[in-house]
Structure 1
Amino acid sequence: MNTVPVLQRYGLYLLVLAAVAMLVYIVISLVQSFTLEHADRKLKEQNSDGAVNNVYYFIRRTTLQQLQLSAGTLLSGLLIAILVFCQVYDPRIIVPAAAVLFLLGMAAPWLYFTGKARRRALEFESSILDLALGLTSGLRAGQALPQALEVFSRRCEGPMKEELMIVIREYRLGLELAEALQRMYNRLPCEDLQLLIISIRLTTQSGGSMADVLGRITQMIRGRTEFQQKLRALTAQGRFEALAMSLAPLIAFLLLFFINNELMLPMVQTAIGWCAIGVMLTLEVIGYFVIRAIVNIEV
């Protein structure tokens, strides 16, 4: 058996991998030099109302952009290497596929940190009822509103504790309590929190028993929370079906590829095959979001 052609072929693959790696490095260096300076300028801009993107609670803007560029170029370079390894040299296949993988790699870090920010917002929203109960109990015990907030912040955990500590610090620095709470709402918008802030503002301006007003608001928030929990339980099956139906064709494709790759190789070696893959992925994504839109009922 002549091993020279085999060694030459694998040497060619190694050269292609090295060229792709160098291309990735050059692209990252050039793009970062143009984008990170602009990102630093945007990062210095501070909104007067305290509103920020919750994604940047977990990662800096410049770090996120570096991660996006790295992930995009890495995935596209890896795909090019795999296609060359599979003896796919048609630029009509390589260029669009690499572009799609680059965009997916750019989107992946953003989607990951957006999911973390969404989970943090949901955890914060689930603590609004406890906040209303704590403030009502503190006011009825004779505490002032700032004292009730401080006492509750010592007992709570998670995002609620972090946000209340910011509110208390801003209040001690001279900001009005209602304004500090409004800035917290701007950071983490929530309808229940908005009801709470409006009731505090109106009671402070017009007078009256704030404890009684917050007690009624607490009952309203409790009713909304119970209804949302029941609704989420009823729509859980629909959300699972959306995920299962979206992943089933991809899993079936991978299984068939590993079981009988000769049957599936035309899908990755021809332009028509890649067009079919693109259409399939597009329809899967559309179907997933359509099902999620159906089961996502706003209260």
Structure 2
Amino acid sequence: MIELLNVNKEYQEQHALDHLSLTINDGELFVLVGPSGSGKTTLLKTINRLVVPTSGQVKIDGKDVADVDLQQLRRRIGYVLQTGALFPNMTVAENASVQLDNLKWPAEKKHERIAELMTEVGLDPDHFLDRMPSELSGGEAQRVGIVRALAAKPGLVLMDESFSALDPVSRRQLQQIVINLHRDLDSTIVFVTHDMHEALRLADRIAVVYNGKLQQVGTPTEILTEPANAFVSSFFADEQQTDQLLGQVLAAGFGRPAKPNEPGTKMVKGQSIFEWATALQKSQIDQVIVDDTALSDHDLIDYLASLETEGDHH
């Protein structure tokens, strides 16, 4: 568990973080969202002490990070920057193994771990491990950055605007990779973005930050359907109008309880109804499973019809 307790950060008498308190639970994919300059990246960096608060405490599993040896702290935390931030004079394999080298993993075990993760992120280790960073696309470099962050099996991974520099196709692919990795690995991920759709697609829970203050914490559905104030409502307004999410479908009462091991494409609440339609088109099965709820093709049609009816009433 990560706890931020009355955290304040001042730069030249300006509050980057204004007495902010927040709890992030173990195993969550937790997204910090807000406009540029809102304080979300500053908040993220207090967790691994890249930023030291002016006052307040940051605790991981009950221990104040200020009291933990800095090297030990950061070895337990994976960190993915906005770009892959790979060392240009090192191969992909060498870049991906930096943490494992520090931990003195044996060569065979190290290669096995890196090859496994490269496969997980969609890069063939036989084709990529000997390449140099200059030979990679932006999306490929970022995948290597994810492998490096996960190599030592950290319990916590921090991702700071990690996909913002990528083209839309690469960005969407990497979002899905993060969703899959989070589902398969026993890690907490804290992800910073200014992209509302990215936040809604990825998050178990979202924290909305503005002017260094916490505006709201909630699930994607709660943020969209029960905004805490006018800022949150306006920040997500375009998403509400243009990209209905599966969480909203469930909140509207559609679907039925899924049976144990019932067939269906697994999806998450933050995915859109357009992704739902695509999944149905590609699958031989006429339903998707979201958490413990089954949604059929008829639910999709009925939900779209309900939106049209609401539009007529306005």
TM score, norm. by length of structure 2:
0.21
Task: Give 1 or 2 for the bigger CA radius of gyration.
Answer: 1
More helix by share: 1
* TM-score between the two structures when normalised by the length of structure 1: 0.22
